[in-house]
């Protein structure tokens, strides 16, 4: 397995860039997969790591793990108490609204139909729009897409994916919540089939010092300074960039973007 790109590391936690297609840890639900962040990182740095949150298999970007049990407890508590601020990027169907507050309760995916729903809230902001002069649907002359920033304030499973579907702008490449024909059309145009969801930025209190860490994936977006994030990698990060970022950076040149 290729080594994982380390964004931050000290004696208490490590943050890595999780590539799309990797699982965070082994699971019987995907028995055929062989790429696991937890096991690869353990072998790479030579010590045990403790997961404190997760990213879907198809999602790439910032993932944090603790390096000892006390740090794992502190970080897990920060996630539970909503002290962690998360920012994602998503490429979605159609022209999304300029901004939206999605307050839509969700029932766990594997829960029975009569299970209680859980509060779920996501703030959305459209960063850019694109329109391609070819049609994925014979009823329309063009095909539209939007680049959206998503800030979830709760942490329900598949929350961003389900909330974007709820407002009729599913993430491109989402086989569960999107549209198969449209996903295949975009896969041919963009040269790959994948979920276009990126964990861009994670802000959290350090498990020992309490100081806030700002962890950035390294994705460089035109006009990024307007979002309040630095263009450069974290000063404690590696100089090399993950190959997975090339797909995202390719979007800026591939599609005709407009405000």
Q: Which of 10, 11, 56, 114 is catalytic?
A: 56
Residues 6+ apart with CB under 8 A from 231: 220, 224, 225
CA distance 104 to 159: 9
Q: Is 173 left (phi over 0), alpha (psi -120 to 50) or beta?
A: left
137 is catalytic: no
In the chain the first and final C-alpha atoms are separated, in Å, by 40
* Cβ–Cβ < 8 Å for 215, 75: no
**The tokens of 55 are what?**
């990213």
**Could you tell me the sign of the dihedral formed by the alpha carbons of 191, 34, 8, 201, in that order?**
positive
- Cα separation values, 193 from 24, 123, 159, 183, 222, Å: 20, 27, 21, 8, 24
Distance of CA 69 to the CA centre of its chain: 26
User: Cα 64 vs. chain centroid, distance in angstroms?
Assistant: 13
For the chain, what's the residue count? 259
Longest distance between any two alpha carbons in the chain, whole Å: 58
Q: Six-digit token pair at 6? A: 């380390």
**Residues belonging to the active site:** 56
């Amino acid at each position: 397995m290729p080594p994982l790109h380390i964004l931050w590391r000290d004696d208490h936690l490590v943050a890595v860039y999780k590539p799309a297609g990797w699982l965070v840890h082994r699971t019987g639900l995907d028995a055929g997969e062989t790429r696991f962040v937890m096991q690869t990182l353990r072998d790479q740095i030579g010590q045990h790591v403790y997961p404190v949150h997760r990213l879907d298999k198809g999602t790439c970007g910032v993932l944090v793990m603790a390096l000892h049990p006390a740090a794992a407890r502190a970080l897990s508590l920060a996630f539970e108490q909503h002290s962690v601020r998360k920012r994602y990027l998503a490429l979605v169907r159609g022209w999304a609204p300029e901004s939206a507050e999605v307050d839509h309760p969700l029932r766990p995916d594997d829960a029975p139909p009569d299970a209680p729903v859980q509060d779920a809230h996501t703030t959305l902001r459209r960063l850019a729009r694109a329109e391609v002069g070819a049609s994925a649907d014979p009823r329309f002359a063009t095909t539209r897409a939007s680049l959206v920033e998503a800030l979830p304030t709760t942490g329900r499973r598949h929350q961003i994916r389900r909330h974007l579907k709820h407002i009729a702008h599913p993430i491109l490449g989402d086989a569960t919540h999107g549209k198969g024909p449209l996903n295949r059309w975009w896969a041919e145009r963009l040269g790959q089939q994948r979920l276009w969801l990126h964990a861009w930025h994670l802000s959290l209190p350090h498990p020992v010092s309490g100081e806030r860490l700002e962890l950035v994936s390294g994705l460089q977006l035109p006009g990024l300074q307007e979002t309040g994030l630095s263009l450069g990698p974290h000063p404690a990060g590696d100089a090399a960039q993950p190959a997975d970022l090339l797909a995202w950076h390719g979007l800026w040149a591939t599609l005709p973007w407009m405000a």
